[in-house]
Amino acid sequence: MEEKIKSFLEEINLFLFTNEESAEAFRLKYLSKKGIIPALFEEFKTLPPEQRKTTGKSLNELKQLAEQKLADAKSTINKSPDKDTVKTDLSLPGDPHSLGARHPISIVRKQMTDIFTRIGFVVSEGPEIEDDWHNFGALNFPPNHPARDMQDTFFIDSGDGEKWLLRTHTSSVQVRVMENQQPPIRTISPGRVYRNETISARAHCQFHQVEGLYIDEGVSFADLKQTLYYFVQEMFGDKIEIRFRPSFFPFTEPSAEMDITCLICNGAGCPVCKHSGWVEILGCGMVHPNVLDNCKIDSTKYTGYAFGMGIERITMLKFRINDLRLFFENDIRFLSQFKSVL
C-alpha cells in the first residue's frame, strides 16, 4: 500500500491544472466520495495494526497534498482574466485580412473619365435597358440596318407590346442628354453595353464603352483630332502617335477610325498589330445633322463631334492582357494582380 501511495503522490505533484474543468476532473478523480483517496482510506481499515501508523501518516500527507493542490489551482484560475482558455501565446503572428483590389476595367474607366473631365467634359449615365428610339432611331440607323437584327442585338420580350433591348452602345445616353439640354454640350458616357456575339478571346456579349460628345457653334474635325491626341498622350505617354482612316457609321458624317502606334513593339511590327505598327482604338466623326435634328438641336446653327471606344481594348493594351474572357471570369489569380495599381 505504501507503494501505491507513493505513486499517487508523484502523479498529483505532476498534475497540470489549465482551467476549471481540469480542476473539477482532479477533484473527482482523487477527492470525491468515489475517488482514489477515500478508497485508500477504506483499504487502510483492513491493514494489520502494526502497519497502520506509518501508512496512516503517508495517507494523510497524500490527502493534504491533494487538497492543497486543488485549493491553489482554484485560486489561480479565478484570478486569471481568461480563465476558460489554455494559455495564449501572444508572440504568435496574427491572421492577416487580405486587401481587395479594383477591377482593371474600373481602374481604366476612371483614368479615362478623369482625362476628359479635366478638359470640361461632364460624365453622363443612363439605363442599360433601352427602347429602339434611343438606341437606334435617333441615331439615324435605317429601319433595315443589320445591327437591328436578332443576330446582333439582345431584344427583350416584355409582354407589353413595347420593343425593349439591351443597349448596344452608350450613344443612347448621349441621345437622352441632347433631348434634355441645348448646346454647348460636352459629355462623356462610360458604361456596360451588350451585343449578341459568340464569346471568344477577342469578342464578348458584354463589354464596356466610353463615348464622348461635344456640340457647340463652330465645332470642327480639327477639334476632334486635337482632343483625341490629348487623350492618347495622357493615357499612354507622349511618345504615342495617332493616325485617322476614313470609315462609316450611320450617326456620324464624315466618320473615321483612329489608330495609335503599337505599344507592344513601338511601331516596329509584331503579331498584336499584325506587323503594321498600328492598332485601332476608336471610332469617331462629326455628328450627323439628322441626329441633331432628331434630338431637337438646330443643325443649321450647331455642329458637333463624337467618338466611342471600348474600355477592354484600352485595358488590354495598357496591361498587355490577351484574352477578353479574363475580364468577366472574376478569377482571383487574375484580379489580384492589379492590387498595386491605383
Q: Contact residues for ligand 2NL (CB under 6 A)?
A: 171, 174-175, 209, 211, 213, 249, 251-252, 283-285, 287, 291, 306-310
Q: Which of 191/285 has CB closer to ligand 2NL? A: 285
Edge-to-edge strand list for the sheet holding 163-166: 129-131, 163-166, 155-157
DSSP one-letter code for 97: P
Residue of minimal Cβ distance to ligand 2NL: 308
Shortest distance, CB of residue 296 to ligand 2NL, whole angstroms? 13
Shortest distance, CB of residue 300 to ligand 2NL, whole angstroms? 17
Edge-to-edge strand list for the sheet holding 242-249: 122-123, 185-194, 206-216, 303-310, 278-287, 252-261, 242-249
Shortest distance, CB of residue 155 to ligand 2NL, whole angstroms? 21
Which residues, 6+ apart, have CB-to-CB distance to 341 below 8 Å? 101, 102, 104, 107
Are 317 and 278 spatial neighbours (Cβ–Cβ below 8 Å)?
no
Task: Tell me how far apart the terminal alpha carbons of the chain are, to the nearest angstrom.
Answer: 79
Q: Which of 73/291 has CB closer to ligand 2NL? A: 291
Partnered with residue 189 across adjacent β-strands are 211
Q: Which of 116/307 has CB closer to ligand 2NL? A: 307
Which residues, 6+ apart, have CB-to-CB distance to 16 below 8 Å? 22
Are 242 and 231 spatial neighbours (Cβ–Cβ below 8 Å)?
no
Q: Which of 191/283 has CB closer to ligand 2NL? A: 283
Shortest distance, CB of residue 287 to ligand 2NL, whole angstroms? 5
Shortest distance, CB of residue 295 to ligand 2NL, whole angstroms? 8
Shortest distance, CB of residue 308 to ligand 2NL, whole angstroms? 2
Q: Which of 69/288 has CB closer to ligand 2NL? A: 288
In angstroms, the CA 13 to CA 9 distance is 6
Q: Which of 36/235 has CB closer to ligand 2NL? A: 235
